[in-house]
Chain A
Amino acid sequence: MSSGDGALADATLLAVLRRAASPLRHDMAGALLVPRMRLQMLRRRAGTGALAGAELQAGVDEAIAALDAVRAAQRTAMAWFEQHDEHMLALGDALAHAASALGLAAGERDVRIDWRGGSASALAMPAQPLGLMLYAGFFHALDHAPSGASIVVACGMEEIETARVGAHGAGLANASAAAPGVCVAWRYEAERAPAGPPAEGGAAGGDAAGAAAIAIPPLRAEAVAALCARHGARFEATAAGASLHLEARP
């Protein structure tokens, strides 16, 4: 990777992290709501003196279970920020999580994210690079999908050409081999009618949404490609969508 590509990858990394903060905060806030509500309901009931010992115990158990769910949500939502590659995420879980977390951002742009799943959903991959690349792919799709479109997201197995590597790690010039790979695809389907009545000014999100959309520079395909190349993956974009090609490690 050249120094120019490295700088582009760094800039993309920062842009993705900056834009990912809000949806991740949203997910964590939602996860915290359940134990908070359960504990508050328990507190109110305790305040009336109408709480028997068994009910109190059941209520505490529910709150503990809700806190366990918060811990799991935290792990899924935040693990990819960490620099520990040993933490693995299922591709399908990571995609579903990103699709859900970016729902509001999609609504701002009058697009809809349609996560369809796929044959590679169960594949576990290192959380940190996977999260970065998927969020970059989603942000690119949000920036480039036509207004009113659905972004159909799916993942599947494929064979990809990789440089053939010798027993001691030395690359063989001009040689390649088919290796098991994974493709994540974002496809724009523009036939959907806008979800709501058009707002004044044209944009479905109104003036505030329009201003927010303008304030964020669109993520360019070459910027996402540079970030993905750093992690050994390939990102390609066309007017009809984009795809991320990852090597499936055993």
Chain B
Amino acid sequence: MYNPQLNAQGELVHLLTTEGLPRRILTQILDRAGEFMAEVDAGNKKFPTLAGRSVFNLFFENSTRTRTTFEIAAKRLSADVTSLNIQASSTAKGETLLDTIHNLEAMGADLFVVRHAQSGAAHLIAQHVKPGIAVVNAGDGRHAHPTQALLDMYTIRHYKGDFTNLRVAIVGDILHSRVARSQIHALSTLGCPEIRVIAPKTLLPTGIESLGVHVYHDMAEGLADVDVVAMLRLQNERMSGAYLPSTQEFFKHYGLTEEKLGYAKPDAIVMHPGPMNRGVEIDSAVADGERAVILPQVTFGIAVRMAVMEIVANNQQQAR
């Protein structure tokens, strides 16, 4: 199938999803992020890559962390950054998503970072932006959150070196999670031989096995001998009602405690995309424990987003 993220030369011109991205591109992003990490460690925090270019952060859905890390990443690349929280402004006045995009194009945008509550919103924008403008998906509905997955891959590679002999468990609300979907696609492309998802049946999408994952409903079984535990955030609105009876019951069965982490390999790492609900999906002892790599994830996230923005902007630039 035609892949809207790639140009005719097979280069990344938008980042919309990790699905269908060749390993070569995933590795290119991770390698470039590694270079940025090394530069930052050496005290160099400013790069001229995007000097004179305009990055618009369009957040149709609330976010602090993702928006901030994108802002920092764009600023480190010397871009002019404008961040907009849109749910409060134009769409309430009846302006459509594409109207908003075309207006910002007229203001000279070069790159859009988009978060939207509807699955497919970033694809729609990428299909309708003028040639030469890049779109980076910062989360669309339940569909994809590719930069989060890439920073998770960076984290795994950083601590584990390679993917080809790893057992990874993704735990929690898989049904509503764009992070889980993007992680699954990235892990399979990078050669991870065993991807597990652990969740109660109410929080699993129909036919998730078709993505190549093993499904578990029990933490002891699902966490047995895993190298990586990727926790997911449980959204407030799922904490009671028809999906789950209560946070207590969820925590009892699916919350990551030291005891449950004991089923994993002794050197297993624990990731979380944040923000965490302590005492709901993760116990503080684990979140603050030595196997948690949650804060390094945030740091890596900036480097990964720098790499993504640099790559898509350069590939678009060549197309102009």
Task: State yes or no: do A and B come from one complex.
Answer: no
Q: B residues touching A (Cβ–Cβ < 8 Å)?
A: none
Q: A residues touching B (Cβ–Cβ < 8 Å)?
A: none
